[in-house]
Amino acid sequence: MKIKSIILVVALAMGGISLSSAQSLKLLYNGEDVSNSEVSVGGTASDNDVKVILNITNTTESAIDVKVRKNVRADIEGSYNTFCFGSCFPPQTEESTNPYTIGAGETTGDDVFYVQLYPDGNTGTAQIAYEVFNVDDTDDNVAVLVNFSITPTGITLSKKDVNLKVYPNPVAGELVYVDYSLPNGALNATFTMYNMLGTRVYGRALEDKSGKIEISTNSFSKGIYLYSIEVDGIRLATKRLIVL
pLDDT (0 to 100) of residue 31 = 92
CA distances from 36 to 25, 75, 108, 214 (A): 11, 20, 18, 29
Share of the chain above pLDDT 90, in %: 51
Q: How far apart are CA 135 and CA 76, in angstroms?
A: 31
DSSP 3-state of 159: helix
Q: How far apart are CA 30 and CA 35, in angstroms?
A: 13
Q: How far apart are CA 227 and CA 142, in angstroms?
A: 22
Domain assignments of the chain as residue spans, ordered by start: 6-151, 159-243
Per CATH, 6-151 and 159-243 having the same topology is answered: yes
User: At the top level of CATH, which class does the domain 159-243 belong to?
Assistant: mainly beta
pLDDT (tens digit per residue) in 179-212: 998 876 666 788 988 887 778 889 899 888 889 9
Mean pLDDT within 213-223: 89
> Which of 103, 101, 102, 84 lies closest to 93, judged by CA?
84
Q: How far apart are CA 52 and CA 70, in angstroms?
A: 14
Residue 109 predicted with pLDDT over 90: yes
**Assessment of whether the complete model's pTM goes beyond 0.85:** no
pLDDT (tens digit per residue) in 56-73: 999 999 999 999 999 999
Pairing of the two strands 55-58 and 50-53? unpaired
Q: Provide the β-strand partners of residue 180.
A: 164, 211
DSSP 3-state of 145: strand
pLDDT (tens digit per residue) in 141-156: 999 999 999 887 655 5
Amino acid at 140: D
Give CA 114 to chain center in angstroms: 14
> Which of 127, 146, 188, 155 lies closest to 44, judged by CA?
155
Q: Provide the β-strand partners of residue 69.
A: 95, 131
The CATH number of domain 6-151, selected from 3.40.50.300, 1.10.10.410, 3.10.20.30, 2.60.40.10: 2.60.40.10
Residue 48 predicted with pLDDT over 90: no
Is the model more confident about 40 or about 182? 40
Q: Is the dihedral of CA 195, 200, 201, 202 positive or negative?
A: positive
Please confirm whether the linkage preceding 168 is cis (ω < 30° from 0).
yes
> Which of 172, 184, 186 lies closest to 242, judged by CA?
172
DSSP label at residue 170: S
